[in-house]
Structures are given as structure tokens and as C-alpha cells.
Structure 1
Amino acid sequence: MIYSLHNEAYSFASAGDKQVPWWSFTKTVIATLTLKCVEQGKIELDSKLKGKPYTYRQLLQHTSGLTDYAMLREYHQAVTNGQSPWPCDEMLAKVQVDDLLFNPGEGWRYSNIGYLFLKQQIEQCYDAPFAEVLDTLFKSVDISNSALIESSAEFDKLNVSNQSYDPRWCYHGVIAGSVHDAAEFLHLLMSGQLISKPMLNRMLTPYKLNFDVGQRPWKSPAVGLGVMLNCEPELKTSGHTGQGPQSCFAAYHFEQINPITITVFEQTHSQAVVEDKAVELAKAFTGR
């Protein structure tokens, strides 16, 4: 297990320089860049994508009605068989992307496709490939050991799985970086240093999720804009968990007596494992 703890006065990392896949914590980075586009007047949060019935806010919040390729058995078989990722247009045709599961704003469904569309919008806003936009963002905050990975060769070099995987199967992209960089990024975000405090408040406005999360530690789950939230007063958190082949990644900011940002990576099939470890570390830090 690899982890990092960070607050204003304290920073600790266990094997913190090793690069690991951030999996769906990448969505929080995409959301940050999208909200920066809003602040810069490039897009409006509640405007609709051109020719589409859903807004940027709804994509960020998973309330757009979009389905997801992870629902396709054919997708999982292709990944398991080591096939090359389908071209984007082919994937969208396979999922019948225009057949929404519900009217935008009238339900909730986690969708990687929504974040693919946001990534594409970021590329349009900055007139540059997503990898370049990401690199510019990271350099601006002195994050130097994290980047987008775009090939199975790059993934295999991470040495986190005994099977090869092409990260292009994750259509919105996968960042690989150190747990220390992830903690630093989330800490900067939650302290209002990447987007303005008013925009951060919009990001953290909860959309309550009325379902049981099972053995995971969240008892009052919600989502914001690109972040997962837990709204319990005694365990108030914001961040994101992600999962890929044989590993999970969790990045959370804990609003407690001594606020702290914690990132955890583990070679496991259970998201609860990394989330429980993050909670355990946060509670231990409270006593410092």
C-alpha cells in the first residue's frame, strides 16, 4: 500500500514518488479544468453542449442521463482479451449515446462518457490536446511527477498489475503520478488555490445520493462537480475514488479538527480497502 498525507504544516509519503494510476481521480482534475474554463468565460456552467440536451453542470454531476460503456459486456470482454480500444465514434455508437437513461437533471447515473465530453470541451477551449493542457496546469503548481498515460507500454512501466492494459480504454483519460502529487493537487484545490473560493463552493455543493454504498465508509454519500462527498458532520470529506485492473486509488480531503488531505493506492479489487485506509489515517492524524 502506498499513501500520502498532507496539510498546511505536515507532509508525509510512503513510497510517495512511485508513479501509480490515479484512475477516476482523473475526473477531479478534468472538473478543475472545466471550472477554470467557466471562470475564464470560455463556457457557462449551466449552458448546454452544442446540439445536446444536457449542461456542463449535469455532465460534471452525472445527472445528464448519459449511459456508460462500462455497462457493455462486450467492452469488458474486449479489455480482458487485450484488444485495441475501439475508436471513440465506434464506442459511442455501441452504447447508443443519444438514448438517454432519463431526462437531464431528473436522475443520477455515473458516466465516464460525460467526462469524455468534458475532456473534449477542454481541448476545444484551449485549442490543445488534453495532455498538453494537463502538463501546463501541473507545471503551474510545481507538480512534476504526474502526466497523462496513453499507451499500454506506459501503463506496463508502472508495474502495478500482472496483466497489460491500454489506458485508452478509459476514454476520458488516465493520469499516472505519485500519491504525493495527487495529495498536493487536491490540497491546493480544496484550499482555493486552483479555482476561486466561490467556484469551489459550487464544486462542493452536494447532490445527495439516496442509496446504500455497502461496506464502504460513507454513510451520507453525495457528489459535487467532479468530486465524491460524504456529508456526515463527523466525517466530512471531498475527493474521488477510482478503480482499474487489479488496483484502486483514493484521494480525499477531510474537514476535521486538523484538516488533512490523504491519497492511498493499493493493488486490490476493493474500493473500500483504499477508502477505509484513508479514513483510518485521517482519524489517526486528528490526535497529533
Structure 2
Amino acid sequence: MTLQPIYHHWITTEGREGGDSASGALFPYWSFTKTAISICALKLVEACYLKLDAIVPGQPFTLRQLLQHTSGLPDYEPLKSYRAAVARKEEPWSRPKLLEAAMAQGMLFDPDQGWSYSNIGYGHVRELIEETTGMPLGRVISDLICQPLGLQTVNYWETPEQTASLIWDAADGYDPRWVFHGCLIGSVSDAAHLLHALFRGQLLHGQILDDMLARHVIGGAIPGRPWTECGYALGLMSGAVGEVGRAIGHSGGGPFSVNAVYHFPDRPDPVTVACFASGSDESVAEFEAVKIARQV
């Protein structure tokens, strides 16, 4: 059953804009944060501080492989002990404990010999960014993305105290440190504007934007979700959703809310849509985003 309300905001290439995005309300961006992390990493590549295809020191994989989930690293989401600890609202595990638990599963495949979604991989990217810049990830995202675009509501979610500012009552007691790579919070409108700016060339352009958009094809339709073709670029889910055509962006979900933030380049007036809903079923937000893209 579709959960209500679903907050949304949309922007088209020709400049039309609208939606019901609960002015002033803040939402967790969950894995849409990966898109922001990828943009920051690629801006550092563009500035020659990082190399996209060089082996990460002390590791068997490259930055590109981390960003595209082709590193072979496992994930912590499948761990029953992790999910149980989050549900009990325990103190978040330390980085060494989280890595030990996840890596006990072993590498899933040799780098670039498969595809598997890994939050652990984006934890490594976060560390690369912080080591390279000498600044915490939240400051880097603010300096490289939020301030240039004027995204005034977007902040790095660091403490349980910030959780009280979120629109969802079910967020009470959740500690954002459970998200290993970090998580942003902000308005629905700013989520749409962030992704729209990427496709307007305001954040990356030329070869580095081409690198970000180059995708690894994963497969076809997913039962119960709008995807008819699936792939993953660098920090971007990239596939197709039937007659609406390509969808490029990211879905996200946590214990109490979900979102879908996508650009639909094949529409007559290409549109970026952000949708946020309560619950744990990402398809709710995805289907709503596709419906709005079709209507707009």
C-alpha cells in the first residue's frame, strides 16, 4: 500500500519548477549522499589531487571501482548483527568493529570482475576525501557543492541531536553514525536542485562528467520496482523505467524513510524529480518519481 504523504519537488531544463516539498522540513538523504560523495571525489580527481584509476594505497582496488561498486568489497547491510544493533538503538559500532564484521564475509570477487553494492566501499571513499583535503567530509561537501549552489538546508548529519530536526517522528533515537560513509540531511527542494545542477554542468563538466555518467550494466527489470533496465555509474543509479526512458540519480532508504532523486533526460523537457516518503520500501518513492516525470 502506498504510504502518504510523499513529498516531492521537480525542476525542468526549460526552467519550470513545482511540487509539494514541505517548505522548511528536513529529510535524510540516505544513499543519495553517495552522489554527493562521488561528485566531491571527482572534483578532486579533476584538480589532480586524486587519481581515478590508480590503485588505492594499501588496497587492491581503484577509486573508480569503489565509486562504481566493482571493487569486490562486501557490505554490512546483510549482517543480522548490524541490523539488530540498529533496531535496538545501540551505540554505533566503531570503524574497526564495523570493518571486521563486514570483511569477515571476505572479498566477493576480484576488483572489476563483478558488481555488488557496498557501503563499505563508500566508507573508503570518504576516508580518501578526508585524508586528501585534511577536512571532514561534511565540510568538503559544503565547500565544493552546497555553498557554490546556494543549498542552504543541506547539512552533514553527525549527531543524534540533529535527528530532532527531521520531519519523521520515527527518526527519534536514530544515530546517524550507523551510516558508515556519512549521510546528508536537507530539504526535498535542495535534493532536486543538487542533482539538477549536475546535469546542467554546474558541478562537473567535460571528461570528468563523462566518467561519472559511464555506467556498468547490471541487468533488466526488477520485480516490484519501476526499473526495466539497471546499471550503475559513479555514485549514480543509471537505467531505464519503461516508456519514460532513462533515469539517472539515486534511491535511498533507512529504518524509517525512503527517497528517490532522479534526472529523466529523455522527457520532452528533461526533468529532475526528488521524492521522499516514510517507511522502508524504496519503490514507493521511485514509482512516484516516475509518475511525476511522466506528468511533467
**TM-score scaled by structure 1?**
0.95
Match of 2:93 among 55, 62, 86: 86
**Following TM superposition, by how much is the alpha carbon of 1:97 offset from its aligned partner in structure 2, in angstroms?**
6.2
**Following TM superposition, by how much is the alpha carbon of 1:189 offset from its aligned partner in structure 2, in angstroms?**
0.6
Name the structure 1 match of 2:200. 191
Name the structure 2 match of 1:213. 222
1:95 is the counterpart of 2:102: yes
Name the structure 2 match of 1:272. 283
Match of 2:260 among 233, 236, 250: 250
| Contact 1:17–1:180 under 8 Å retained in 2 | no
Structure 1 residues 197-219: Cα deviation after superposition (integer angstroms, max 9, x where no partner): 32111111121112542111110
For 1:47, the aligned partner's letter is A
**Following TM superposition, by how much is the alpha carbon of 1:125 offset from its aligned partner in structure 2, in angstroms?**
1.8
Percent identity over paired residues = 35
For 1:155, the aligned partner's letter is T
Query: 3-state SS of the aligned residue for 1:13?
Result: strand
Match of 2:62 among 55, 74, 80: 55
CA-atom RMSD in angstroms: 1.5
| Contact 2:277–2:285 under 8 Å retained in 1 | yes
| Contact 1:251–1:262 under 8 Å retained in 2 | yes
**Following TM superposition, by how much is the alpha carbon of 1:270 offset from its aligned partner in structure 2, in angstroms?**
1.1
Structure 1 spans left out of the alignment, 5+ residues: none
Query: 3-state SS of the aligned residue for 2:263?
Result: strand
Query: 3-state SS of the aligned residue for 2:61?
Result: coil
Tell me the number of residue pairs that the alignment of Structure 1 and Structure 2 aligns. 285
Q: How does 1:1-288 map to 2 (within 5 A)?
A: 1-8=6-13, 9-14=15-20, 15-96=22-103, 99-137=106-144, 138-162=146-170, 163-210=172-219, 212-231=221-240, 234-255=244-265, 256-285=267-296
Quote the Cα distance in structure 2 between the aligned partners of 1:194 and 1:40: 13
* Range with bigger deviation, 258-267 or 203-212: 203-212
Structure 2 spans left out of the alignment, 5+ residues: 1-5
| Contact 1:2–1:264 under 8 Å retained in 2 | yes
Quote the Cα distance in structure 1 between the aligned partners of 2:113 and 2:257: 33
For 1:5, the aligned partner's letter is W
| Contact 2:244–2:293 under 8 Å retained in 1 | no
Quote the Cα distance in structure 1 between the aligned partners of 2:231 and 2:169: 31
Structure 1 residues 34-55: Cα deviation after superposition (integer angstroms, max 9, x where no partner): 1101100011111111011111
Query: 3-state SS of the aligned residue for 2:141?
Result: helix
